[in-house]
A and B are shown apart, each in its own frame.
Chain A
Amino acid sequence: MIIPIISAVLIALGLLFFIGGAVGILRFPDFYTRMHAAGKGDTMSMFTILLGLAVYQLQDPTPAHILVALKILLIALFIMMTSPTSTHALIKAGFMEGIKMWRRKDRKEKS
């Protein structure tokens, strides 16, 4: 009985982070800040949702279900390892292109 509740809470948390990432991608002012919202709000929400689904698989712990849960966790681990790499590659490509950074107009410069 407790397992569906845990998985539902994890999935709802992931959906909340997905919404945050989508709103960030729409609202943030320049390419670099959009990258922040895209690359990582996404990774975290993916991780929580997949964790929730893996927990849901453990409802009747037969070996087949445990294997499926392990596979889901491996997917999550794989994305957590590769997502920083692709984020870094994309932002470096943008940096090399010389895309300008957004600054607030009235911001005082730090030395």
Chain B
Amino acid sequence: MYRIAIFLLLFGIWIIFSGQFDAFHLAMGLISALFITLISSSFLFLDRDRSAGQCLGEIIRIPGYLIWIIYKIFQANIHILKLALTPGDLKGVESSLVKIRTNLKTDFGRYVLANSITLTPGTITVQIEGDELLVHSISDETEAGLRDGTMERRIAEVFERGKE
């Protein structure tokens, strides 16, 4: 079941990147996708004890999260642009290290949280230890945005619904 999904994913990527639809190229893509599926299917999608409905729900909910995170990145980029272009003695920059605790259970949820924190300008994840994240933030404003935990709630809603 998972092998078929991985194979379809790889074959789709092959078709997009080759861009040719004659028999030779399609056969090459078929062979290489099969080969990669055979040798590497055991370490893609490690968390396999979910039902198909859960996976489908995740796939449906991911684009909404992506749009929200792109909007957040955009907003925060304007903030950092303002910081960088302020003349004088860099008034807004108040860097600090913040420790936050996360309630996310799965590894993948934590990975998404850490990457989202890093992608939002103004905050970078430095270290993950257990369920504590060490985050470097550039100004007081981004620190406040980090502490209120909206992002974590969003991620929990998308990836960990019905897992309590």
Q: Is the CB of B127 within 8 A of A29?
A: no
Nearest residue (CB) in B for A32 is B136
Cα–Cα distance between A43 and B115 once the two chains are bound (Å): 13
Q: Is B106 an interface residue (CB 8 A)?
A: no
Q: Is the CB of B80 within 8 A of A71?
A: no
Chain B residues whose C-beta falls within 8 Å of the C-beta of A83 in the assembled complex: 119
CB distance from A41 to the nearest CB of B (A): 6
Known contacts: A32-B95, A33-B93, A70-B16. The answer to whether A23 contacts B77 by CB under 8 A is no
Beta-carbon contacts of A17-56 to B below 8 Å, as 1s and 0s?
A: 1001101100111101101110111011001000000000
**B81-129 CB contacts (< 8 Å) to partner A:** 81, 83-85, 90, 93-97, 114-115, 118-122, 124-127
CB distance from A14 to the nearest CB of B (A): 10
User: Contact partner of A27 among B90, B97, B118, B122, CB < 8 A?
Assistant: B90
The count of chain B contact residues (Cβ–Cβ below 8 Å) is 32
Cα–Cα distance between A4 and B19 once the two chains are bound (Å): 25
Q: Is B33 an interface residue (CB 8 A)?
A: no
Known contacts: A67-B16, A74-B16, A91-B126. The answer to whether A23 contacts B85 by CB under 8 A is yes
Chain B residues whose C-beta falls within 8 Å of the C-beta of A92 in the assembled complex: 126-127
Q: Is the CB of B83 within 8 A of A24?
A: yes
Chain B residues whose C-beta falls within 8 Å of the C-beta of A81 in the assembled complex: 115
Nearest residue (CB) in B for A68 is B19
Nearest residue (CB) in B for A102 is B95
Q: Is the CB of A88 within 8 A of B81?
A: no
Q: Is the CB of A91 within 8 A of B90?
A: no
CB distance from A51 to the nearest CB of B (A): 10
Which residues of B are at the interface with A, using a C-beta cutoff of 8 A? 13, 16-17, 19, 70, 73-74, 77, 80-81, 83-85, 90, 93-97, 114-115, 118-122, 124-127, 136, 138
